Structure 1
Amino acid sequence: MVINGVRHWVRVVGELRSGTPLVVVHGGPGGFVYDFERLTGPLLERLGPVVYYEQRGCGRSDRPDDGRYDVPLLVDDLEQLRRGLEVPRMVLLGISFGGELAAEYTVAYPERVEKLILQGTGLAGPLTPSPWAAGFEAVAASDELRTAIRAAAAGGGPSAVWEVVDRETTDRFLFHQPEVGRRIRELWEESGLVNTGELAAALAKQRPRPAPLADELAALDLPVLVLVGLWDRNAGVDPCRDLTTRLPNARLHVFHHSAHFPHAEEPEEYAAEVAAFLAGEPAPG
């Protein structure tokens, strides 16, 4: 689909008119949905129509000719996707950064979102900073690497840390089950897709929001499901728990054998929790 002048890769599974579609909003920034589509998608497709799409400049979507990336434009891309699909409302499943984007869309278009699912998204702010730096320290294999991580975090922030860690450390950071990490790596290589870093670099230059996103989301009485792995060192359990507490109509589910990708590490439990939420079943006591 051509959205705001950029050709976006979109895949629809199921009949859109058979129910409110579940739209998967990938993370990164700059990631893609290839692995989710293959590992977890088939389980969710049993629940109703599913829409996979990749953001501008990401995955199989084209890069914008003008090089423009910003959150308001990404939100409008998502709105133009909805209009192009001719659906009145969506259920958004936002993964990591995709959760922030899904929350931004929900605040901008609350009447268009039936339910919201945030996976590994704590909506970090001044009082709830992301625990990623401490997480990288925890999984580092040597004192030398820990020292390099601390120096990078102090001098350049998240992007600098990602530049000093090796693949082994990154996989320990992202995955709790090594065999799942290897499988996702295989799918990434199979896809031939890469995160160019272009979107992340552009978003890093944006001015901070005038008001915390969590505050604006908390003003909406919208059903929200917050999902996080117990070993998620990126979002962190505490920020996800506290976000759930802030929101008026939210529930939290913690996966005990997962890190940042519970959809891949515990797919059956993941699909069951999403199914219960979509069906309106009460949260387990």
Structure 2
Amino acid sequence: MVNGIRHWVRVVGELGAATPLVVVHGGPGGFVYDFERLTGPALERLGPVVYYEQRGSGRSDSPYDGKYSIELLVDDLEQLRRELRIERMVLLGISFGGDLAAEFAVVHPERVDGLILQGTGLAERSRPSPWPSGFEAVAADDAMRTAIRVAVERSGPSAVWDVVDRETTDRFLFHQPAVAQRIRELWAESGLVNTGAMSAALAEEPVRAVSLVDELAELDLPVLVLIGLWDRNAGVDGPRDLVTRLPRAELHVFENSAHFPNAEETDRYVNKIARFLAVP
């Protein structure tokens, strides 16, 4: 139990043997099931790994009061760290999980040895969303492109997710069709779904008074930013610009991946993390 909510957690390896890698999944409201199976086995050879699913996500329980906020999610992770008796950790944040990992590092810098940010430039609301142009670029026909433009004009960038079909979504999120199919199979196998409750709640949060990137830049913290060349979900510009604003950041672009280089170029992905962690 973490903050009164049953969180699903899996620890692989001996936590006291080395600094653990804690995987922070995306969404908001996603889960770690596919990452755990596709990337986990190789990643676990580097040292201890902690998988967990956030409140209301995957195999974790939903909050009885329906409350979600960045502050609560950060505190959930902090309480989990205490329960597991982890002194310091490296956070691997995937997509939205990268934003959450960075938020945690800003609040608890003494507990973080490093950040690995996959598929995110960190949320800057002043930056235009890459979703409309990204979906239009991969749409198979004029009818879908028109539906995308109309949805965005009426309701904003997030509305594209309500009109795109599975084929378009797969081309948007993945560069390799075979990997898209495999992840779809794992999603079906898991029986897990993203209810959208967390995403809706977080969308109502006020804009940060101080930029997350600016606060992160104040920390003397090594950061590894990972992005697929074909990532139309996060866009390449945000991650590229992010590394110029952080004092100890490095960028790696995976040339044959979109939003999930962990699945599309697993060996290169794990090798890059191994070098960052200085694992021989």
TM above 0.5, one fold? yes
- For residue 128 of structure 1, report the CA deviation from its aligned partner: 3.2
Counterparts of 1:1-285 in structure 2 under 5 Å?
Answer: 2-279=1-278
Find the residue that maps to 1:18 and give its secondary structure: coil
- For residue 131 of structure 1, report the CA deviation from its aligned partner: 1.2
Q: Is the 8 A contact 1:27 1:97 kept in 2?
A: yes
RMSD: 1.1
TM-score in terms of structure 1 length = 0.96
- For residue 198 of structure 1, report the CA deviation from its aligned partner: 0.7
Find the residue that maps to 1:115 and give its secondary structure: strand
2:200 & 2:242 partners in 1: Cα distance? 26
Find the residue that maps to 1:225 and give its secondary structure: strand
- For residue 155 of structure 1, report the CA deviation from its aligned partner: 2.2
2:61 & 2:17 partners in 1: Cα distance? 30
2:15 & 2:96 partners in 1: Cα distance? 26
Instruction: Give the fraction of aligned pairs with identical amino acids, expressed as a percent.
Output: 73
Q: Is the 8 A contact 2:129 2:157 kept in 1?
A: no
Q: Kindly provide the amino acid, as one letter, of the partner of residue 18 in structure 2.
A: G
Q: Is the 8 A contact 2:15 2:48 kept in 1?
A: yes
Deviations 1:162-182 (A, max 9, x none): 000000000000000000000
Once structures 1 and 2 are overlaid, which stretch shifts more, 206-215 or 94-103? 206-215
Once structures 1 and 2 are overlaid, which stretch shifts more, 158-167 or 228-237? 158-167
Deviations 1:170-217 (A, max 9, x none): 000000000000000000000000011111111111111111111111
Q: Kindly provide the amino acid, as one letter, of the partner of residue 275 in structure 2.
A: A
Q: Is the 8 A contact 2:54 2:73 kept in 1?
A: yes
- For residue 130 of structure 1, report the CA deviation from its aligned partner: 3.2
Task: Note closer, same or farther for the CA distance 1:99–1:135 as it changes in structure 2 (3 Å cut).
Answer: same
Q: Kindly provide the amino acid, as one letter, of the partner of residue 220 in structure 2.
A: D
Q: Kindly provide the amino acid, as one letter, of the partner of residue 199 in structure 1.
A: M
- For residue 24 of structure 1, report the CA deviation from its aligned partner: 0.2
Find the residue that maps to 1:148 and give its secondary structure: helix
Q: Is the 8 A contact 1:124 1:130 kept in 2?
A: no
1:211 & 1:154 partners in 2: Cα distance? 29
2:279 & 2:125 partners in 1: Cα distance? 33
2:265 & 2:132 partners in 1: Cα distance? 25
2:152 & 2:109 partners in 1: Cα distance? 36
- For residue 159 of structure 1, report the CA deviation from its aligned partner: 3.2
2:153 & 2:211 partners in 1: Cα distance? 24
TM-score in terms of structure 2 length = 0.98
Q: Kindly provide the amino acid, as one letter, of the partner of residue 25 in structure 2.
A: H
1:90 & 1:257 partners in 2: Cα distance? 29
- For residue 275 of structure 1, report the CA deviation from its aligned partner: 0.1
1:124 & 1:62 partners in 2: Cα distance? 26
Find the residue that maps to 1:29 and give its secondary structure: coil
Q: Which runs of 5+ in 1 are unaligned?
A: none
Q: Kindly provide the amino acid, as one letter, of the partner of residue 131 in structure 2.
A: W
- For residue 127 of structure 1, report the CA deviation from its aligned partner: 4.7
Q: Kindly provide the amino acid, as one letter, of the partner of residue 135 in structure 1.
A: G
Q: Kindly provide the amino acid, as one letter, of the partner of residue 37 in structure 2.
A: R
- For residue 120 of structure 1, report the CA deviation from its aligned partner: 0.3
1:248 & 1:89 partners in 2: Cα distance? 21
2:154 & 2:225 partners in 1: Cα distance? 32
- For residue 280 of structure 1, report the CA deviation from its aligned partner: 7.8
- For residue 259 of structure 1, report the CA deviation from its aligned partner: 0.2
1:11 & 1:80 partners in 2: Cα distance? 15
Task: Tell me which stretches of 4 or more aligned residues in structure 1 moved more than 6 Å.
Answer: none
Find the residue that maps to 2:262 and give its secondary structure: helix
